[in-house]
Structure 1
Amino acid sequence: MPSSRDPEQSPDTPASTQGLAKGLTNYGDTGFSLFLRKAFIKGAGFTDDALSRPVIGIVNTGSSYNPCHGNAPQLVEAVKRGVMLAGGLPVDFPTISVHESFSAPTSMYLRNLMSMDTEEMIRAQPMDAVVLIGGCDKTVPAQLMGAASAGVPAIQLVTGSMLTGAHRGERVGACTDCRRYWGRYRAEEIDGAEIADVNNQLVASVGTCSVMGTASTMACVAEALGMMVSGGASAPAVTADRVRVAERTGTTAVAMAAARLTPDRILTGNAFENALRVLLAIGGSTNGIVHLTAIAGRLGIDIDLAGLDRMSRETPVLVDLKPSGQHYMEDFHKAGGMLTLLRELRPLLHLDTLTVSGRTLGEELDDAPPPFPQDVIRTAASPIYPAGGLAVLRGNLAPGGAIIKQSAANPALMEHEGRAVVFEHAEDMAQRIDDESLDVKADDILVLKRIGPTGAPGMPEAGYMPIPKKLARAGVKDMVRVSDGRMSGTAAGTIVLHVTPEAAIGGPLALVRSGDRIRLSVANREIALLVDDAELARRAAEQPVERPRAERGYRKLFLETVTQADQGVDFDFLRATQTVDTVPKQG
């Protein structure tokens, strides 16, 4: 009987570079290489018919250490269903999974490792397209960085946000409310029994933080970039909507494979401008700018902080979510999610950018459901904050720039001059911040050094310095705080972050001493150390730079190659070798 197999898929004639024939190991006989590969995968029970289909890889980041990804098994199954309904062959595979609270010394330290793992596994294994399942803060940027470098058609699927809980009649959710209640506990406003009760209610289900923290920010940004199915950013983790998004993602991946719709066709300069616009309008995490810079850098696109600041002045915050507002991601989803927001931002967006659907952003918005009354996503005429969530600061303390989340800061402190209270590193702060003898007053400015990319290492979220206990007990809720580190997107306060260059490589922050005067002016976009240049030069001569070193392993690689915040804290050798675009563009 004649064989029904396609001759191109026979075990000895690999005439295609698609499907299982991609990336064959070279034994000097390509026919044998494919023959061997098919023999092994047939051990899992696959037929020749199944193996002749487009192969769709599915990055599975499920981990018992990662409750943000607790629904990953269900999502993998739904993606597989979508792939098979569209005629593809789904193949899931594991990569590193990074959770914010379970990664030492910090999740940011491992983001680049996860991006390399993602890139190399996409390259190493045969797949015509790949579905990236991530959620917790650093996982989505790591996956987008890796996929941008790998060059295979890729689509992002997020795990979705957790549900909110309730404490004594008050709705609560991670992790803005975590910080608020812990602040009350430090101030001795609530006791140990109550903080334990709160601890049981803050995370009501698996999924990512329920506020506009980094995870939610990156979900929204991924959709704005065009790397996610329309409406895919906001559905909570444990809803049927999230599972349907997963199925649709699998189906879309098959179409992307057929069209060879690679990330470079979607992730253009205009797409990054759209993403920056959304970052500002959602009151997104300060981490978002670091991650967007890293993703763009993989494609040779530079993000200009001065341009971002110009954009911020004309882009109001429209999404009323904690920490800038009052609501949670569940509410954002019920209000129409990203489609509602993008419709409101439409006059400010590049509508001709391509999305994973193969259609433009404008075409996706044309087909969006009609608007309806809701109070979570505001109109441009009635914003929750008149300018963008982020502002870029410069001055002799941060010649390479610094970031403040102005939408979550105390208006009374955004024009402030005060005396510096300096902590040389995180351990110094931990030892002295609650010392009753600490010389600190409410109008001082807390300064924390050496928590930047190399100083920590990994730029931890220690920039959200706690209010000293003796001030917290006196009712102080906010102070100006300055560091070369990061803070969680769930945090609020008048906090200056990402001071560049960092102290550990000799940035001016290293020269600040307790008692110095510092001036913050958000209106003038200034962060200035009020010490004359001659004195700073004298201090610099007295304390030569000793960059952190390591003898071996990943830490050695990290410390020797990591870039500063204004280049995304990526490894220098992973960034594109040539710049093809700079955004936002002038005008």
Structure 2
Amino acid sequence: MTSDPSPNSELPSSRWFDPDSLRGFGHRSRLKGMGYDDQDFRGKPVIAILNTWSDLNTCHSHFPERVKEVKRGIWQMGGFPVEIPVMSLGEMMMKPTTMLYRNLLAMETEEVLRCHPIDAAVLMGGCDKTVPAMIMGAISANRPAIFLPAGPMLKARWKDQTLGSGSDAWKYWDERRAGNLCDESWGEIENCIARSAGTCMTMGTASTMAAIAESMGMTLPGASSVPAVISEHSRLAVATGRRAVEMANENLRPSNILTEASFDNAIVTSMAIGGSTNAIVHIIAMARRAGIPLTLERFDELSKTTPVLANVRPAGKFLMEDFFDAGGLRALLQQLGAHIDRSCRTVNGLSIGENISGAEVIDADIIRSLDNPLSESGGTFVLQGNLAPSGCVVKPTAASPRLLNHTGPAVVFDNYGDLKAKLNDPDAGITADSVLILRNAGPQGGPGFPEWGMLPIPDHLLKQGVRDLVRISDARMSGTSYGTCILHVAPEAAVGGPLALVQNGDLIELNVEQRSLNLLVDDEELAKRRAAWTPPPARYQRGYGAMFLKHVTQADAGCDFDFLHHGADTPDPDIY
């Protein structure tokens, strides 16, 4: 047998490749069957590149090139790169929602890292659910891991208009329904709104989660805002590969990085960038994987003291490419001053304070200062009341000011099919004062917690010039969406939450400043309705869907599977 040229028994992969045994022989010989030599892998850190690329994931369409660049960085530092494809959650193509499969990718990430000879991992993702899913799995596996964000696409233009994917799609669709946009113009917008590879170029869920990953310390400094197709992103990929090898040698694990303060930094960052409401669900899920019992109350505490500094759509004016040119997330974190705990450790071994030191704001309109914020308080508020005993969320910076304190009659839709069938029915009686209610769209009811929360405005109101209504649901909405949308109502209707009891004409009272949402129906009447309520039948009777419905938690608990929360360590596999 060829002797080990450079033994390193400290590496987990050595359990596969070092033993002078039949099993060790088998592991080595199969690598050699792929053309590798002892000098390629013996005694070297094995770095897994977990790649969520697919031909149906626009956001990750540049990943085949980035994998080559990550590998280059790994080879440069004396590591052995192995690419492992994992489930690709392409937001635009997957139905009913990628959220149904976030936990499946998290499970796959965890088990891939545990069952293979892997010393560290580069996690390649970016499209909304890939970021939390991969980090959740890496936290539970507790192997050294570093995240490489896909990066936002380049900004687009149509005629003299700058387009933001998602946000402008909603806007121009409403104008088309109102009769203000012809088919030819609609087709022109369709052809140009997604200009390049990469995630949505607004501060949607993808860019929000990338920023959160960086603020938690899971990426290299500045990684979250680099556009997908510029040369800096290629260099970032190489640098990420190099750093992964160093992390393997240092045995720097998520448990060495992620603390309660790290998650506070994530929340503050989400609020300061006017980030997606989806971030709340994902941050809670990641925190609970790390053994930190984060609750909605903490989000509201930090929201009240954190100003919005990123003037980026949908809350602001600009796009992610502008944000990058203005200084990116490092500059925004520097602007936040004492709002950020600068002592938190990051994947490059330095503190976040060291990583943002010297960061410069290039454009003070795009990245605001504390004395000139876009909004005095955070981008997301947590509401409670008898309609949402376990809480719900709203993004006031993307809502209409006139509707933030509103009382109006409910118009109820039992599910999304009911909404589509009845929205434009004159008998529905929807007016500018109505409160649209969509129920059975949560984790159980959707199922999978789909992005249905930006309920469409009826055609007749669009033609009258109405562009916003109060809309309440137990669903989520896209991070690119906008409007006075109350989301994540918990408990959801499908498990008997109060949303299940609302009837047409009931008065709903919303007061965002007071963080309240109430159904103005007396307790005696609600008790009668509850006695008559029956739960909807389960959508899935077998397979992954049935497992999802049995084990998924509610929105306020992160929608993770109950058996995946932090607990006793899972043993490493036996290798005989």
Q: Tell me if TM exceeds 0.5.
A: yes
Which letter maps to 2:247? M
Task: Give structure 2 stretches of 5+ with no counterpart.
Answer: 569-576
Number of residue-to-residue matches in the alignment: 567
In structure 2, distance between residues paired with 1:508 and 1:4: 68
Residues 171/44 of structure 1: CA separation in 2 closer, same or farther (3 Å cut): same
Determine helix, strand or coil for the equivalent of 1:569. Answer: coil
Aligned to 1:582: none
Gaps of 5+ in 1: 10-15, 579-587
Secondary structure of 2:223 counterpart: coil
- Matched AA of 1:427: G
Distance 1:19 1:88, change over 3 A: farther
Q: Find the counterpart in structure 1 of residue 347 from structure 2.
A: 356
Rounded to whole Å, the distance in 2 between the matches of 1:426 and 1:517 is 22
Q: 1:499 aligns to what SS in structure 2?
A: coil
Match of 1:209 in 2: 200
Alpha-carbon deviations, 1:59-82, whole Å to 9, x = none? 111100001000101111111111
Summarize the alignment of residues 285-296 of structure 1 with structure 2, pairs less than 5 Å apart. Answer: 285-296=276-287
**Residue matched to 2:272:** 281
1:65 is aligned to 56
Identity of aligned residues (%): 45
Which deviations, in whole Å up to 9, do the C-alpha atoms of 1:456-482 show, x marking residues without a partner? 101111011000111111111000000
Residue 456 of structure 1: aligned partner: 446
Equivalents in 2 of 1:30, 1:459: separation in Å?
51
Of 313, 319, 326, the match for 2:317:
326
Provide the secondary structure at the position in 1 that maps to 2:563: coil
CA distance in 1 between partners of 2:164 and 2:496 (Å): 39
Aligned-pair Cα RMSD in Å:
1.7
Name the SS of the counterpart of 2:371 in structure 1: coil
Say which SS state the counterpart of residue 377 (structure 1) adopts: coil
Aligned to 2:256: 265
2:294 corresponding residue in structure 1: 303
Q: Note the 1:181-200 alignment, pairs <5 A.
A: 181-200=172-191
Q: Which amino acid in structure 2 is aligned with residue 404 of structure 1?
A: V
Work out the CA distance in 2 between the residues paired with 1:8 and 1:254.
Answer: 16
Q: Which amino acid aligns with 1:451?
A: A
What does the per-residue CA deviation read over 1:424-461, in whole Å, with 9 as the maximum and x for residues that have no partner?
Answer: 11110011112233211111100000000000101111
1:100-119 → structure 2 map (5 Å cutoff): 100-119=91-110
> Which of residues 371, 377, 397 is equivalent to 2:387?
397
Is 2:484 the partner of 1:485?
A: no
Opposite residue 471 of structure 2, the aligned amino acid is R
In the TM superposition, 1:21-40 aligns within 5 A as 21-22=14-15, 31-40=21-30
2:5 counterpart residue number: 6
SS in 1 for 2:445: coil
Task: Tell me how far apart the structure 2 counterparts of residues 343 and 31 of structure 1 sit (CA, whole Å).
Answer: 54
For 1:205 and 1:163, locate their aligned partners in 2 and report how far apart those are by CA, in whole Å: 6
Supply the distance in 1 between the matched residues of 2:443 and 2:220 (Cα, whole angstroms): 33
Question: How much does 1:20 deviate?
Answer: 3.6
Contact 2:255/2:290 (CA < 8 Å) preserved in 1?
yes
Taking structure 1 as the reference length, what is the TM-score of the superposition? Answer: 0.94
Matched, 1:163 2:154: yes
Equivalent position of 1:384 in the other structure: 374
Structure 1 distance, partners of 2:177, 2:465, is 11
How far the C-alpha of 1:83 sits from its partner, in A, is 0.9
Question: Partners in 2 of 1:63 and 1:143 — Cα distance?
Answer: 16
CA–CA distance in structure 1, aligned partners of residues 13 and 352 of structure 2: 33
| Residue deviations 1:131-164 (CA, integer Å, cap 9, x gap) | 0000100111110011111110000001111112
The structural deviation recorded for 1:185 is 0.9
**Distance in 2 of aligned mates of 1:282 and 1:371:** 14
Q: Equivalents in 1 of 2:552, 2:293: separation in Å?
A: 16
> Deviations along 1:88-131, whole A, 9 cap, x unmatched?
11111100001111111111001111111111111111111000
Q: 1:8 to 1:401 in 2, by over 3 A?
A: same
Map of 1:74 onto structure 2: 65
Residue correspondence of structure 1 range 429-444 to structure 2 within 5 A:
429-444=419-434
Q: CA–CA distance in 2 between the matches of 1:18 and 1:31?
A: 18
Tell me which residue corresponds to 1:531. 521
CA-to-partner distance for each residue in 1:370-404, whole Å, 9 max, x for gaps? 44444210001001111100000000000000000
SS of aligned partner of 1:233: helix
Task: Tell me the CA shift for residue 344 of structure 1.
Answer: 0.6
Which of 434, 454, 465 is residue 475 of structure 1 equivalent to? 465
